[in-house]
Structure 1
Amino acid sequence: MMSNTLDGKVVLITGASSGIGEATALALSAEGARVAAGARRSERLEALAGKAPGEMLALDLDVTDQESVRAAVGRTVERFGGLDILVNNAGVMLPGPIAGADVSEWTRMVETNLLGSMYTVHAALPYLLERKGAVVQVSSTSGRIASAGNGVYAATKFGVTAFSEALRQEVTAQGVRVVVVEPGFVATELTGHITDPTMRDTARRLAASMRTLQPGDIADAVVYALTQPEHVAVNEILIRPTDQTQ
């Protein structure tokens, strides 16, 4: 059976200014989708839109701010006439031990990784139901396996998985597909945000010890899931570097 085409589909991507979000925006644009690329670093999005093979709207978007989220969804629908696909990619990873932690970093992760994805789904869902669209939730292997030093980050990603499964059960009979993508170690800017020196050094050593995934590898997985025939729902994709053991 022929794959589902993305030509003319309208996609909103969060966290699109770098890494997986940027690669996914370009990959979906190359497939013919009309892309609204959202992030806080709006100056990067203008450069991204200039590289896109198709029509792309740059959106100043902070997923932790419900008004910003609703405005981004509204601008997307106003520009393109609807919304078919939401890719929730915005995230931050700030690992460190629980004892002595700066709990403001916990708040930042919960607000961005978990609440941010929830806010965006909530704002986009009426339009996705109207068009029998799809939600792609970019999670992590940390959404399956918690590890020392990553307790709060893992908690947010476990939360994304739980929220996504409940969402799937609520909307699948109405034709909306929900996809959770769980990448392992990817060469992105995410580790550059780490403030704990020990965890930062650990992340660097891990990256040097393996052939890490590239953002385009995850973008290809997203394209795969979204181009399946309408009766096929790829609900979960776990993708690790071959060299990653955990």
Structure 2
Amino acid sequence: MDLQLAGKTAVVTGGSKGIGLALVRTLLAEGMRVVTGSRTITAELKETDAVPVTVDLSTSSGPAQLIDSAIAELGGIDLLVNNVGVGDTDEFAKGARFNLLELPDDAWEDTFNLHFYSALRASRAALPSLIERKGTIINISSIGARLAAAGPANYNVSKAALSALTKVIAEQFGGQGVRAITVSPGPVSTGVWTDPDGFVGRLAKEQGVAHEAFVDQLISGLGVTTGRIAAPEEVARLIAFLASPVNITGNEYLIDGGMIKHV
């Protein structure tokens, strides 16, 4: 299938690993020119033809810095994917360990800066170019936004805000040709799940359970119908399809193996 993306341009936040890296590779394979921003440039990212920008997207100036660099490199932006997420494992784990009385303000602020404000700021900076080129914004949320009581509370709430932001962008700028879509993955085989020192790996150690066995327990307990974790490449393919010229905007697409079961 020709997704009609060849020759177009994309900015991907958090493209150094995980879903972001898989997406960079997928978009490049579709013939797009890609700029990506992250705090570190991994060896795997260097092996691609993407243009990497070293930037801290959790800062107030970082997202605009990335977009300015991308426009200078690409001339204009057809697609913005706000993907950056999770960040420091220890900080991520605090939201799962502490309740509202225990989780301090700075944990909420750090989480919202990374997951919500980075997307808001990048979108605002990119919108003039996206309006000019009738482009698309895709926000990578999480099924955690629908499961606020489970997992890191501050992360889940920030992702719920990100999903709402998609609706706002779609409504305010749809008349100018800009589409906005949310993609909400469930468990994905990134470092959060696969790294022995990642979030799930640390939980397994704390409970004295082998990592793989603990993952299987979680997948079963979460009600993943397919019985497996999604691959980053599967999420990337969904994003690439949604970036193609289709009459879709304001919607959320789950890729969760059947976890969310309500209509």
TM-score range, shorter chain: 0.7 to 0.9
Q: Which moved more, 1:72-81 or 1:14-23?
A: 72-81
- Of 85, 95, 103, which aligns to 1:91? 85
- Of 66, 73, 78, which aligns to 1:79? 73
The Cα shift of 1:112 comes to 0.3
1:41 counterpart SS class: coil
Report the number of matched residues.
Answer: 238
Report % sequence identity: 27
Distance 1:217 1:188 in 2: 12
Aligned residue in 2 for 1:223: 240
- Of 45, 50, 58, which aligns to 1:48? 45
Distance 1:26 1:149 in 2: 30
What amino acid maps onto 2:166 in structure 1?
S
Distance 2:205 2:125 in 1: 35
What amino acid maps onto 1:216 in structure 2?
E
The TM-score, its normalising length taken from structure 2, stands at: 0.81
Check 1:135–1:201 CA distance in 2 against 1; reply closer, same or farther (3 A cut): farther
Task: Write out per-residue CA displacement over residues 171-225 of structure 1, whole angstroms, 9 at most, x where no aligned residue.
Answer: 1111111110000011112355549965985895663334111111110110111
- Of 59, 62, 72, which aligns to 1:68? 62
The question of whether the paired residues in 2 share the 8 Å contact of 1:149 and 1:199 is answered with no
1:6 counterpart SS class: coil
Aligned residue in 2 for 1:240: 256
Aligned residue in 2 for 1:100: 102
* Unpaired stretches in structure 1, ≥5 consecutive residues: none
The question of whether the paired residues in 2 share the 8 Å contact of 1:88 and 1:135 is answered with yes
1:135 counterpart SS class: strand
The Cα shift of 1:5 comes to 0.7
The Cα shift of 1:235 comes to 2.6
Distance 1:110 1:178 in 2: 20
The question of whether the paired residues in 1 share the 8 Å contact of 2:167 and 2:250 is answered with no
Distance 2:72 2:238 in 1: 29
What amino acid maps onto 1:224 in structure 2?
F
- Of 142, 158, 164, which aligns to 1:156? 158
The TM-score, its normalising length taken from structure 1, stands at: 0.86
Check 1:235–1:153 CA distance in 2 against 1; reply closer, same or farther (3 A cut): same
Check 1:201–1:187 CA distance in 2 against 1; reply closer, same or farther (3 A cut): farther
2:61 counterpart SS class: helix
Check 1:172–1:245 CA distance in 2 against 1; reply closer, same or farther (3 A cut): closer
The question of whether the paired residues in 2 share the 8 Å contact of 1:63 and 1:119 is answered with no
* Unpaired stretches in structure 2, ≥5 consecutive residues: 87-91, 220-227
What amino acid maps onto 1:118 in structure 2?
L
The Cα shift of 1:149 comes to 4.3
Pairing 1:1-246 to 2, within 5 Å after superposition: 4-42=3-41, 44=42, 47-50=44-47, 52=48, 55-92=49-86, 93-94=92-93, 95-96=95-96, 97-98=98-99, 99-190=101-192, 194=199, 207-209=215-217, 210=219, 211-229=228-246, 231-233=247-249, 235-242=251-258, 244=259
Task: Write out per-residue CA displacement over residues 7-64 of structure 1, whole angstroms, 9 at most, x where no aligned residue.
Answer: 011100001111000000100110000000110012x1x64142x3xx4201112112
Distance 1:207 1:195 in 2: 7
Question: What root-mean-square deviation, in Å, do the aligned CA atoms of Structure 1 and Structure 2 show?
Answer: 2.7
Structure 1's consecutive aligned runs of 4 or more residues displaced over 6 angstroms after TM superposition are none
Distance 2:36 2:118 in 1: 15
The question of whether the paired residues in 2 share the 8 Å contact of 1:185 and 1:240 is answered with yes
